[in-house]
Amino acid sequence: MHDDRSLVEARLKRVLDERIRPAVYPESVPLDVAVWNAPGEPVPVAEGLAGPVEPIAVGDRWGAPWSTCWFRVSGTVPAHWAGRTVEALLDLGFDENMPGFQCEGLVYRPDGTPVKGLNPRNQWVRVAAPAEGGEEVLLHVEAASNPVILDYHPFLPTRLGDKETAGDEPQYTLARMDLAVFDENVWNLVQDLEVLGELMAELPVEGARRWDILRAIGRALDAVDLQDVNATAEAARAELAGVLATPAEPSAHRISAVGHAHIDSAWLWPLRETVRKVARTTSNMTALLEDEPDFVFAMSQAQQFAWIKEHRPEVYDKVKKAVAEGRFVPSGGMWVESDTNMPGSEAMARQFVHGKRFFLDEFGIENDEAWLPDTFGFAAGLPQIIKAAGSKWLLTQKISWSQTNKFPHHTFRWEGIDGTRIFTHFPPVDTYNCSMKGSEIAHAADNFKDKGVARHSLAPTGWGDGGGGTTREMIAKAGRLRSLEGSATVAWEKPADFFAKAEAEYPDAPVWVGELYLELHRATLTSQAKTKQGNRRSEHLLREAELWAATAAVREDFAYPYEQLDRIWKTVLLHQFHDILPGSSIAWVHREAERTYAAVAGELNGIIDAAQRALAGNPSAGRELLFNSAPHTRDGVPAGAAATATPGERGRLTPREDGGFVLDNGLLRVEIDARGLVVSAYDLAAERESVAPGHAANLLQIHPDFPNMWDAWDVDAFYRNTVTDLTNLDELTPVEDTAAVGVRIVRSFGSSRVTQLLTLAPGAKRLDIDTEVDWHETEKFLKAAFPLDVHADRYASETQFGHFYRATHTNTSWEAAKFEACNHRFVHLEEPGWGVALVNDSTYGHDVTRTVRTSDAGTTTTVRVSLLRAPRFPDPETDQGVHRFRHALAPGATIGDAVREGFRINLPERRVTGGSEVAPLVTVDNPAVVVSAVKLAADASGDLVVRLYESTGGRARVRLGFGFEATGITVTDLLERTLDEATAPELTDAGAALTLRPFELVTLRLARR
């Protein structure tokens, strides 16, 4: 037989596009349309429905950027449509290729009841089925004129990302406002042909199945009368029935489809718009659940449920009903789908605490899975946190975006820094926006890495990023793919049902140890420095507020601010969303975040001040007390206590012979040359130099930074090819005060200026570096380099509840790909017996490289901290303005010293005048054990909750002492629920003893009288 495949395939495409799809709506009549342009921000529904409207016609422009227009559409169903299905087609000017990224609408009835959302792939509203004829139709559409930020030519700078700069030019043209007859038979023919045509294209040419489908499609097209598609659609479907009824092979890959609408809590739209996106999407999904008995929809992010509960209670009522029926599934158990690299230990724990509590309180549901499809890599400390929250599974697909190395598994066990293993799945469909295309289904089956030992995978199905969710077309396709020869099978399932099956069939899944590093989006560790600083400072202020409020509550009957702290935690957790904290959102988002963090700081400082004053007592006593919020003794004051500080003796500052200055405090001698660079940092006790010979530390370096794509997200390896050392000096002056000795350094470069203060504090073996940058560069990357005389093939970066080692070399492509990585408060390098730590108060990105010197064959290991970038998309003014950073170089530091100095730099001194010293509520006798939280139990019982962990990577025996009368002790999960009673340590008058494995996290609950 002659090969006529191309002829039939081309015929299918044209007939579908030009004849069959248009016949889905064979008759239509226009609706009358009027509009009210709401001033300012979105208004309540009642106000929108009552707004004064004026006529508008199809073809007219509407919608200034970020504005809201309320359309009123009205009409009458023609009498001769009686008995037929009638829908309203409401096209606001959609581009079908941009679901979630442009204008959207929510349809209401006149009484304010939400009907469904409108988006580019979901423009219909059911009016009558069947119609009686003569019905009056009146609908209202709350239309959001969200501008297109990520256009067909992506990553072009735009001012549309902030309402303050976006202008008022109308963005959209009203395209269609009609009543139409919906021919379900023709619509089903479209689904039949699409499923078979897409499957056919994925099958081998030499296989009989492809030809069976081809011939059936040819017969079906022959059966279609192109002049009367509606009358012949049934006959055409009959020609396809046989090939659609042929079941899948028993060995076929099995896909669990989960209805999904990944909604970024902020990204190319502000937070307030996400509230409406969630309402639109959930309105659609609850309606679909009523129509489709097999469909299951999952939505993560407790914050998004909380938004609709607060702002759209009528929508939330439908969601709660569907949840109770078991088909609308709250998934993930986190407050938001957060970044996991940068959130600190407690913040990462609280993502699960607040997320899981919300789902338990609202729905009585406990999640076993963490659901993070789009997060930009996963920190090595996360498995322990997931387990400590009472969960056991993880889903993501983002690692499939890695540029260099293809991850070897789709289903595996992920082992974290403490040895905890979490059963993990990467959907091989490689998208969280699956639309049930044949190419997607085939890719999932072909791509699955675990063939032969497993056959289940998951496909999150529905339009996401900006929302929209699953469509009726996707559900129809999934139904046809339930069991179809040549295809993987598809069944709607809850995430928990999928994971249970997948784990049961693959009990010996392979293990991946350490972080899940995304070989992409590395610059998210640096972009939008003020957002990152706001997060870091909020985390530590929350630590202080809980500690001192709990101490004051126990000691002074202080009113513990339960509700206030709960609200603030949720605000901080929201801003850890994976497009806010990483700095990849529009200008509006980061402008609002800066204001929010300032408000958070104001509230938390108020709590801290009130609690400390209650503890300090009468200020007229005139005694200055140092309140030590750190988990280690500071200037003679124990952790969690307040007392008079005993600082060491101030150091000396002397001129250097060749220019510059020498700082010496008896522990560390630092030489700063005439260029203002650190050429020596000498550990006097160890008689060891830390700066590599012939090099200078605290060297600011600037690179051009224009990645190939994803400007705010990416830094490409070629940025290193060009570097400028910033050595020009405007000013170098000595600084001496009662607390420290140091030098002030001022440099100008480009359009920017940097001022640094380098100081040696009394009794401290560290060089403090305070940096202020007035930054006005574009597409540049600023780093600070510290070349160290340390021979190390690996280094430690702090992560949640411990640290993680990365290679300093590039032996493999996996190591070479980690050319920009994340740390929390410190990085640490060491040779046996001696090390160096570099600590920070608010930066995350860094790189580490090593070279061998020709002069002495020694190894120079260079740590460079990333300070600022200046991408122009999506925020063209990223990082412009004044920034302040604090770093410290600690020669001779052990890993324990790195932990201590990291806490110290992030918890500045607080001094209060009073008359009463404050003893700590909790003490530990092993410095390797860090108390990460002291708080009152969330249930307001008055119990004290203490969280601690082993911080050095070794086993630790520790005795806890309690500065109050404890009447009981239990070990709990993160949600403060008692675990096995047998695990509780014995409580004695002396406290309680524990033995911790490396990096083990423990939460204790203490009852008190």
Active-site annotation, residues: 374
DSSP string, 848-914: EEEEE-TTTSPEEEEEEEEEE----SS-TTTT-EEEEEEEEEEET--HHHHHHHHHHHHS--EEEEE
Are the beta carbons of 603 and 564 closer than 8 angstroms?
A: yes
Are the beta carbons of 886 and 842 closer than 8 angstroms?
A: yes
Helix (H, G, I), strand (E, B) or coil at 489: strand
The contacts of residue 267 (CB under 8 Å, 6+ apart) are: 465, 466, 579, 584, 585, 586, 589
Report the distance separating Cα 389 and Cα 368, nearest Å: 9
> 415: how many CB neighbours lie within 10 A of its CB?
18
Report the distance separating Cα 687 and Cα 666, nearest Å: 12
Report the distance separating Cα 818 and Cα 808, nearest Å: 10
> Which CA distances in Å does 364 have to 354, 356, 360, 387, 493?
14, 10, 4, 19, 20
The contacts of residue 168 (CB under 8 Å, 6+ apart) are: 64, 65, 67
Q: Which residue in the block uniquely carries the two structure tokens 């806010």?
A: 580
Q: In 673-732, which ranges are continuous DSSP H helix?
A: none
> 974: how many CB neighbours lie within 10 A of its CB?
25
Pairing of strands 411-415, 511-513: parallel
**E strand residue ranges, 892-990:** 910-914, 922-924, 929-936, 944-950, 956-962, 966-972
Nearest to 82 by CA among 38, 132, 45: 132
Residues in the chain: 1009
Phi, psi at residue 94, to the nearest 5°?
Answer: -70, 150
**E strand residue ranges, 563-650:** 623-627, 642-643
Report the distance separating Cα 172 and Cα 100, nearest Å: 15
The contacts of residue 5 (CB under 8 Å, 6+ apart) are: 205, 214
Report the distance separating Cα 436 and Cα 427, nearest Å: 14
- Name the helix (H) or strand (E) containing 354: helix 345-363
Q: In 126-270, which ranges are continuous DSSP H helix?
A: 184-202, 208-223, 229-245
Report the distance separating Cα 642 and Cα 825, nearest Å: 24
Report the distance separating Cα 27 and Cα 180, nearest Å: 6
Both tokens of 180, joined, read 């139409």
Phi, psi at residue 235, to the nearest 5°?
Answer: -65, -40
Nearest to 528 by CA among 487, 577, 568: 577
Cα end-to-end distance, the chain, whole Å: 91
Amino acid identity at 496: A
Q: ∠ CA(578), CA(581), CA(584), 5° rounding?
A: 70
Nearest to 109 by CA among 314, 321, 292, 285: 314
Report the distance separating Cα 486 and Cα 489, nearest Å: 9
DSSP conformational letter for 92: S
